[in-house]
Amino acid sequence: MRVVVPFGVQSPKTRLAPLLVDDERRDFAVAMLRDVLDAVRDAGGTPLVLADAPLGEPIDAPVAVDDRPLTDAVNNQLAAGTPVTVVMADLALATPEALSRLFETAGDVVAAPGLGGGTNALVVRHPDFSVDYHGASIADHRRLADEVGATFVEVDSLRLAVDVDEPADFVDVLLHGAGRAREWVVDAGIHLQRGDGRVGVGRARR
């Protein structure tokens, strides 16, 4: 399976600014990307990084640079032929098992919803389907599949639903992550804090 992994070099993970400075956000984003590439390969996929600018450091996969908005850049990849899978680079909990389940699910379009309305992974087997990543994209993708007569199937996976955007997401990385991303978070001094409501995170500055 050809697997496109979009990666934003230009403004990585701005909503993590409360806990991480610029260079850290960049480092952490690359750690997640490397984990995702490993998981894709372990699930039998062949990854291509789709970056909005040159990465500036070596990465163990081919990189295509396309500085257009995410939706246009991904649609250009879909135009190169199906089947193709799109997997976001910030799925720090993704495992080969979860991705294999995605790849093996039958359907013209198979989606793994993200929390809060996103589409974190998408297998496209229908030549007329195109993506639109603005807003609540999972609802848009359902509609877009319907418009071209493509079946739309969702994969029920927590590991593909968590994209790391906000400090609260570090809780799930610490509790369920395994790879470089979790190690990065631990090394940064970010740790669980247990209060009255949901568990949160704090950071010990070193």
Which positions lie near its own copies, rule CB under 8 A?
Answer: 15, 95, 97-98, 101, 113, 115-118, 134-136, 138-139, 156-162, 165-166, 168, 171-172, 175-176, 192, 194, 197-199
Closest approach of Cβ 199 to its own copies, in Å? 4
78 or 131: CB nearest its own copies: 131
Measured CA angle at 14 (ends 74, 72), to 5 deg: 15
Least Å from the CB of residue 185 to its own copies: 15
Least spacing, CB of residue 64 vs its own copies, in Å? 26
- 88, 35 in Cβ contact below 8 A? no
Shorter beta-carbon distance to its own copies: residue 98 or 181:
98
Q: Which is nearer to its own copies, 48 or 114 (CB)?
A: 114
Angle (CA) 28-30-33 rounded to 5° is 115
CB of 18 to its own copies, least distance (A): 13
Residue 117 Cβ vs its own copies, minimum distance, rounded to whole Å: 4
Which residues, in sequence order, are CB contacts of 160 under 8 Å at separation 6+?
91, 93, 94, 98, 99, 102, 112, 114, 120, 121
**Which H/E stretch holds residue 40?**
helix 22-42
CB nearer its own copies, residue 60 or residue 156: 156
- Quickly list H helices, 58-178: 70-79, 96-104, 137-147, 169-176
Nearer to its own copies, 5 or 138 (CB): 138
- What H or E segment, with its residue span, contains residue 123? strand 119-124
SS3 category, 138: helix
